[in-house]
C-alpha cells in the first residue's frame, strides 16, 4: 500500500501567513499608482508650457517683441506655426486659456475657482483651467482639489514667468 504525500494544514497556514506578510509590505508601493500618474501628467503639462515658452520667447526676441506688454496699444504677437499668432506678455505666453491652448495644442474646460475642481462648462476636455489676474491654475479632470499647479505670466521684461510647485503624489 502506497502512502499519499501532501501538505499538512500547518504547512498551508504558514505559507498563507508568509504571503500575507509579503503583501502587506509590498502593497504600499503599488497603492498610490493613480497619484503618481497624476503627478507625472502635471509634470508633462508643465514641461509643455516651459517648452512652448522657450519657443515663443525666442521668436519674440527675434522680432523685437520681448519688451512689450500684452496691454500695449499694438500688442506683441509672434507666429508660432499654429495658424494663430501668440500674443505675448514681455515675450512669454500669457496666462490665459486661449494662449495656452494655442501654444501647447491642448483643450481646457473652465473651472469655477482655483481651489474647487468643479467645472463651469464641461466640453469633454481632459484638463481644467482657472485664470485670475495673470495666473492660470490647471489640473486634471477628476483629480482632487490639491492636485494642481499654477503658471503666472511675466510681470515685466526682467521678471520671467513662474510656476508653482508640483504637489506630492499623496495630494493627488
Query: What predicted TM-score, i.e. pTM, was given to this entire model?
Result: 0.80
The pLDDT tens digits for 54-90 are 999 999 999 998 999 988 888 899 998 888 999 999 9
CB 133 within 8 A of CB 106: no
Considering the domain boundaries, does residue 45 fall inside one?
yes
Considering the domain boundaries, does residue 89 fall inside one?
yes
Considering the domain boundaries, does residue 95 fall inside one?
yes
Tell me, rounded to whole angstroms, the distance of Cα 18 from its chain centroid: 40
5's grid cell: 504525500
Count of domains observed in the chain: 1
- For 36, the domain range is 32-171
Considering the domain boundaries, does residue 14 fall inside one?
no
Report the DSSP beta bridge partners of residue 53. none
118: exposed, middle or buried (Cβ count in 10 Å: 0-12, 13-18, 19+): exposed
List the single range of 5-9, 124-128, 156-160 with lowest mean pLDDT. Answer: 5-9
Question: Taking 70 as the threshold, does the pLDDT of residue 144 lie above it?
Answer: yes
The average confidence (pLDDT) of the chain is 90
Considering the domain boundaries, does residue 22 fall inside one?
no
State the Cα angle at 146 between 143 and 150, rounded to 5°. 95
94's grid cell: 500669457
Considering the domain boundaries, does residue 16 fall inside one?
no
Per DSSP, the chain holds a count of helices (H) and strands (E) of 3, 9
Q: What residues contact residue 23 under an 8 Å CB cut-off, 6+ apart?
A: none
| pLDDT confidence tier of residue 118, bands split at 50, 70 and 90 | confident
3-class DSSP assignment, residue 109: strand
Question: Taking 70 as the threshold, does the pLDDT of residue 115 lie above it?
Answer: yes
Question: Taking 70 as the threshold, does the pLDDT of residue 2 lie above it?
Answer: no
Considering the domain boundaries, does residue 141 fall inside one?
yes
The pLDDT tens digits for 82-91 are 889 999 999 9
Spatial separation of the C-alpha atoms in residues 113 and 150, rounded to whole Å? 12
Considering the domain boundaries, does residue 81 fall inside one?
yes
Could you give the C-alpha distances from 21 to 11, 13, 18, 27, 100, in angstroms and in order? Answer: 16, 12, 5, 10, 49
Amino acid at each position: 500500500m502506497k502512502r499519499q504525500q501532501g501538505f499538512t494544514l500547518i504547512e498551508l497556514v504558514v505559507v498563507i501567513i508568509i504571503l500575507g506578510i509579503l503583501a502587506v509590505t509590498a502593497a504600499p508601493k503599488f497603492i498610490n499608482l493613480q497619484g503618481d500618474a497624476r503627478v507625472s501628467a502635471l509634470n508633462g503639462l508643465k514641461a509643455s508650457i516651459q517648452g512652448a515658452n522657450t519657443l515663443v520667447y525666442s521668436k519674440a526676441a527675434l522680432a523685437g517683441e520681448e519688451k512689450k506688454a500684452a496691454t500695449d496699444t499694438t500688442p506683441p504677437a509672434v507666429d508660432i506655426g499654429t495658424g494663430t499668432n501668440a500674443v505675448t506678455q514681455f515675450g512669454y505666453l500669457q496666462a490665459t486659456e486661449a494662449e495656452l491652448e494655442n501654444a501647447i495644442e491642448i483643450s481646457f474646460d473652465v473651472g469655477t475657482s482655483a481651489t474647487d475642481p468643479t467645472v463651469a462648462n464641461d466640453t469633454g476636455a481632459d484638463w481644467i483651467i482657472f485664470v485670475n489676474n495673470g495666473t492660470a491654475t490647471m489640473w486634471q479632470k477628476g483629480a482632487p482639489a490639491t492636485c494642481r499647479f499654477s503658471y503666472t505670466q511675466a510681470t515685466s521684461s526682467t521678471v520671467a514667468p513662474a510656476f508653482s510647485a508640483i504637489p506630492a503624489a499623496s495630494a493627488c
